[in-house]
Amino acid sequence: MRVLAVDVGGTHIKILASGEETRRRFPSGPQMTPQQMVEDVRKAAADWKYDLVSIGYPGAVVDGRILTEPHNLGRGWVGFNFESAFGCPVKLLNDAAMQALGSYKGGRMLFLGFGTGLGSAMIIDGMLQPMELAHLPYRKGTYEDYVGLRGLEKYGKKQWVKYVFDVTERLTAALEPDDVVLGGGNAKKLKKLPPKCRAGNNANAFLGGFRLWHDTITAPLHAPLQTDIGAAGQPAGKPDKGKKKKKK
């Protein structure tokens, strides 16, 4: 069975099917509804074969159900029937949790995703727990206000990096992980990483999406991870090059 992994972000939506080498992407934004997302995904993946779909969603997901509307996309995500829209089985997971799932190597791992917002998840001895730390109070706003895209644009890169180090240190002290992975599109702006952290790879979101179906996982939350998709943390897919077709 082939899986189509969909990584939904506030600025772009990226896709990759198992067995393919090059991921594809297209813009999202505040007007992106779930119906439009499905239509755009199906169009972008028209020449790919897949039987199952995994969706990494930028918001709270519990037991495969979206609980809240996204902060950086359009409305209508809560209660939307993705299986009917795609015409095949679909599993939903918080986007940070999906990338964390693809980055996991064992032990207690904290994942922080610095992108449009701040994604977060923990995996403790194989137990996955998506988290919503982004909107907790920090300084005169929330964590996301300072280390998300808004913070980067408002304060500039130099000050943003300081906030990233501070937030990472605070969350590490509170949650006591033995492995900290920093991912998301803006993590690459860090020339140096905070102590005891390693860089994630955005492509691991696709590996996480594949693992949702191919591992012994039976639910997005509280499930053991016993991967059979190569080595843990192995990136899935080459960088996207628009919608160019593979060379024959």
Q: Give the rounded percent of residues in the chain with a pLDDT score beyond 70.
A: 86
Decide if 3 contacts 90 (C-beta within 8 A).
no
SS3 assignment for the chain: CCEEEEEECCCEEEEEECCCCECEEEECCCCCCHHHHHHHHHHHCCCCCCCEEEEEECCCEECCEECCCCCCCCCCCCCCCHHHHHCCCEEEEEHHHHHHHHHCCCCEEEEEEECCCEEEEEEECCEEEEECCCCCEECCEEHHHHHCHHHHHHHHHHHHHHHHHHHHHHHHHHHCCCEEEEECCCHHHCCCCCCCEEECCCCHHHHHHHHHHHCCCCCCCCCCCCCCCCCCCCCCCECCECECCCCC
Domains of the chain: 3-98+202-214 (3.30.420.40), 107-199 (3.30.420.40)
Residue 98: the pLDDT is 94
Mean per-residue pLDDT over the chain, rounded: 87
When pLDDT is averaged across residues 12-29 and rounded to a whole number, the result is 95
Starting at the edge strand found earlier in the chain, the sheet holding 12-17 runs: 24-27, 12-17, 3-8, 52-57, 90-94
Residue 60 has pLDDT above 80, yes or no: yes
End-to-end CA distance of the chain: 23
The per-residue pLDDT for 130 is: 87
What is the average per-residue pLDDT within 50-64?
Answer: 93
Q: Which residue has the tokens 């990584």?
A: 7
pLDDT of amino acid 237: 54
CA-based torsion, 58, 67, 120, 98: positive or negative: negative
With cut-offs at 50, 70 and 90, classify the pLDDT of residue 217. Answer: very low
**Structure confidence at residue 231 (pLDDT):** 29
**Arithmetic mean of pLDDT, 17-39:** 96
How high is the pLDDT of residue 235? 42
Confidence at residue 31, expressed as pLDDT on a 0 to 100 scale? 95
Q: How does residue 238 score in pLDDT terms, banded at 50, 70 and 90? A: low
The arithmetic mean of pLDDT across residues 181-188, rounded, is 93
72-128 tens-digit pLDDT: 899 999 999 999 999 999 999 999 899 999 999 999 999 999 988 899 999 999 889
pLDDT at site 224: 39
pLDDT at 204 over 50: yes
Which pLDDT tens digit goes with each residue over 123-175?
999 889 988 899 999 999 999 999 999 999 999 999 999 999 999 999 999 99
Cα 45 to the chain's mean position, in Å? 19
